[in-house]
Amino acid sequence: MRLPSGFRDRVATRTMQDRLVWQAASLLLAYPDGQLPGRLDTVDELLSHISGPAAELLERTALALRAREPMAAATDYVATFDMRRRATMYLTYWTAGDTRNRGREMLEFATAYRKAGVEPPRHEAPDHLPVVLEFAATVDPEVGRRLLTEHRVPIDVLRGALADADSPYEPTVAAVCATLPVATDQEVRRAQRLAKAGPPAESVGLQPFQLTVPPRKGTPRV
């Protein structure tokens, strides 16, 4: 069946809007190093092309980051994402936890990137949310949307943790959630259970797969 041109145009417009949101979110959720001012300038340019509630959500994070001293922003980022496991941006941590299955699940991300014609990043895990968002925005929006949708529950857990911490990063994750299909009741209940009980654990006798947080310059490794 041939879709009406107006419908195709609306789908294309929605896809482009989502890609702009994903790109802005990837930049805002990156570690606030010396390149942060340039990234925020890029976000401002992207926001001029984003409409609706997503623009306001992303702008809230951007304004909060601009208002912070660089050292304070870096310290807050580490305290938020590296020191609180509930707020980790490593998506497979919530689907596989400290188990050997996590390596296999991360490989699925890397394989998806390679099939799309790009190599996984060398200095970050392939399931790191900013990496997935960058891929969805700039390489393959269809595959990227699938990866994000399949990990909607971990993203919802992250958003809830950031909301509880009154983090300036919460609006950006909320903007990402708004680009994905509405969570089902089952997904909502699963996110609630994970937030309360934590991720899966390896069975007795197996070497656990440890959550690895890349070291930040000038900060201790978790």
29-77 residue pLDDT tens: 999 999 999 999 999 999 999 999 999 999 999 999 999 999 999 999 9
Q: Please report how many Cα atoms fall inside a 13 Å half-sphere around the Cα of residue 154, on the Cβ side.
A: 21
The CB-based long-range contact list for 133-136 (8 Å cut-off, 24+ gap) reads: 133/22, 133/23, 133/25, 133/26, 133/29, 133/176, 134/22, 134/23, 134/26, 136/18, 136/19, 136/22
| Least confident stretch, 7-11, 14-18, 61-65, 135-139 | 7-11
Structure confidence at residue 153 (pLDDT):
86
Structure confidence at residue 4 (pLDDT):
53
Model confidence at 175, pLDDT cuts 50, 70, 90, reads very high
For the chain, which domains are there?
Answer: 5-197 (1.10.3480)
**Structure tokens given for 135:** 């891929």
Between 189 and 62, the higher pLDDT residue: 62
